[in-house]
């Protein structure tokens, strides 16, 4: 009976087509073919071929196919980077409701959430997440919080855990598996709830929030890397930083925790400090500092602190040859230096531009910064789409938010 009702496997290629067709059916505006919304939807679907090329290249051990996949992802990411940088000047933002009713959209989103969370529980091998395990050693050395990197790569699949003949080893593997998957499930729920609340509280339209959350669940990437805690946990923190933007201290803590976990959100500080410059600046600084101190203190309490751990946490391993994997594995690493310099200049420029910052600016420019990290992040730069995908989806759906500035919105 279990095989009849519960054994279902949807391969990556099949799901790529299904998700693209469902996205078009639910969101595409057929009466406004040349709208920016339609262009965004097509570009989101174009991430799938790059992810499939990486998946099949790793599965079939074809480095040229993997390289082509990363180049494809960088090309689509480059389009969205330009799109996000232009977003603050797009003043006319008509409400383009999805083609489904509110009830149908809510049902579809809930069904997708159940389907994707079941992927975390069953951990099917027909996913990109499974074939990336060969590069786990490089991930352990990547910039970020060392306990998070170890935790994200700790869990074994059920089949591997059952092969353990030593009972303590088996129990430890089983507990790690349950812990990692449990955290992944809870974190995805937090991301979805945060997106819905942003729509309800800040866009003044819960239908828009549900539409954005459903699109996030529909994107092909989400189905393929659902269980990666190092992907989704920073995403949850950044979504809730936006959701709590009226309270600078809490937003600061969310960004501080995200920066402590994966380092790169530190480059969001020029943008967010520029937003709070006239009101809430010091509360934001205190929140960021407190969160970073809590993470360092946790290392001290665990007896896991040392020069190497702190250097990794604060990004000193960025140019270490041991972490080269993904796109930069196939190209001369020295070219990462000008890319990194351009990234730093971009993030610093947000302190001054746009001059009048609002909630829309925070969304689009935060997504731009986290997307730009993919061009020089190792390992697997280009695959960490969760760091910016929720913010990108919210930017696609956002209304005109020019009145949501720190002077009027911050409490």
161 has pLDDT over 60 = no
| Model pLDDT for residues 69-104, shown as the tens digit of each residue | 999 999 999 999 999 999 998 888 887 889 998 899
- Domain assignments of the chain as residue spans, ordered by start: 10-409
404 has pLDDT over 50 = yes
Cα dihedral across residues 195, 201, 202, 208: positive or negative: positive
327 has pLDDT over 60 = yes
Which pLDDT does position 1 carry in this prediction?
47
19 has pLDDT over 90 = yes
Look over the chain and give the mean of its residue pLDDT values, rounded to a whole number.
87
Better-predicted residue by pLDDT, 86 or 58: 86
What tokens appear for 52 in the block?
């499939």
In whole angstroms, give the CA distance from residue 47 to residue 57. 16
In whole angstroms, give the CA distance from residue 376 to residue 21. 32
In whole angstroms, give the CA distance from residue 338 to residue 84. 21
CA dihedral 77, 48, 216, 386 (to 10 degrees): -50
| Model pLDDT for residues 347-395, shown as the tens digit of each residue | 999 999 999 999 999 999 999 999 999 999 877 888 999 999 999 999 9
Neighbour-count burial of 24, counting CB atoms closer than 10 A to its CB (0-12 exposed, 13-18 middle, 19+ buried): middle
In whole angstroms, give the CA distance from residue 409 to residue 236. 22
| Model pLDDT for residues 189-246, shown as the tens digit of each residue | 999 999 999 999 999 999 999 999 999 999 999 988 888 899 999 999 999 999 999 9
Banded pLDDT at 329 (limits 50, 70, 90): confident
Biggest alpha carbon–alpha carbon distance for the chain: 64
Which pLDDT does position 307 carry in this prediction?
63
The H helix count followed by the E strand count for the chain is 22, 0
Q: What is the DSSP string of 222-286?
A: HHHSTT-HHHHHHHHHHHHHHHTTTSHHHHHHHHHHHHHHHSGGGGGHHHHHHHTTTTTHHHHHH
| Cα 318 to Cα 43, 142, 324, distances in angstroms | 29, 7, 9
Which pLDDT does position 50 carry in this prediction?
96
| Model pLDDT for residues 133-155, shown as the tens digit of each residue | 655 566 767 788 988 888 887 65
Short-list 106, 373, 51, CA closest to 220: 51
Which pLDDT does position 115 carry in this prediction?
85
Q: Are 157 and 123 in contact (CB under 8 A)?
A: yes
């Amino acid at each position: 009976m279990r095989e009849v009702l519960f054994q279902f496997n949807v391969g990556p290629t099949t799901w790529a087509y299904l998700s693209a067709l469902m996205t078009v059916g639910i969101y595409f505006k057929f009466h406004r073919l040349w709208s920016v919304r339609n262009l965004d939807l097509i570009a989101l679907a174009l991430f799938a071929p790059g992810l499939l090329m990486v998946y099949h290249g790793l599965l079939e051990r074809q480095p040229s196919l993997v390289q082509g996949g990363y180049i494809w992802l960088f090309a689509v990411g480059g389009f969205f980077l330009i799109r996000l940088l232009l977003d603050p000047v797009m003043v006319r933002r008509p409400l383009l409701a999805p083609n489904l009713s509110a009830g149908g959209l809510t049902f579809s989103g809930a069904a997708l959430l159940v389907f994707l969370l079941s992927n975390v529980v069953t951990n099917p091998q027909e996913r990109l997440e499974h074939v990336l395990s060969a590069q786990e050693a490089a991930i352990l050395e990547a910039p970020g919080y060392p306990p998070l990197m170890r935790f994200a790569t700790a869990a074994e699949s059920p089949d591997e855990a059952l092969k353990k003949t030593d009972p303590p080893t088996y129990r430890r593997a089983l507990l790690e598996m349950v812990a990692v998957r449990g955290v992944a499930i809870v974190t995805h729920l937090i991301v979805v709830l945060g997106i819905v609340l942003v729509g309800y509280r800040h866009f003044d339209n819960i239908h828009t929030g549900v539409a954005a959350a459903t699109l996030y669940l529909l994107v092909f990437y989400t189905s393929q890397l659902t269980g990666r805690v190092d992907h989704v946990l920073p995403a949850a923190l950044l979504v809730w930083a936006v959701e709590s933007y009226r309270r600078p201290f809490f937003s600061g803590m969310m960004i501080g925790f995200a920066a402590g976990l994966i380092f790169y959100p530190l480059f969001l500080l020029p943008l967010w400090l520029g937003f709070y410059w006239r009101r809430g600046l010091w509360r934001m600084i205190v929140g960021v500092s407190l969160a970073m101190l809590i993470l360092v203190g946790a290392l001290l309490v665990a007896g896991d602190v040392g020069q190497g751990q702190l250097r990794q946490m604060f990004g000193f391993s960025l140019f270490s040859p041991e972490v080269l994997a993904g796109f930069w594995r196939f190209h001369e690493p020295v070219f990462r230096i000008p890319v990194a310099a351009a990234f730093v200049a971009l993030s610093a420029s947000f302190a001054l531009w746009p001059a009048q910052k609002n909630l829309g600016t925070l969304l689009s420019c935060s997504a731009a910064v986290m997307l730009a990290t993919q061009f020089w992040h190792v390992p697997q730069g280009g695959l960490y789409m969760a760091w910016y995908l929720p913010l990108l989806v919210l930017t696609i759906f956002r209304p005109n938010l020019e009145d949501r500035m720190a002077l009027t919105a911050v409490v």
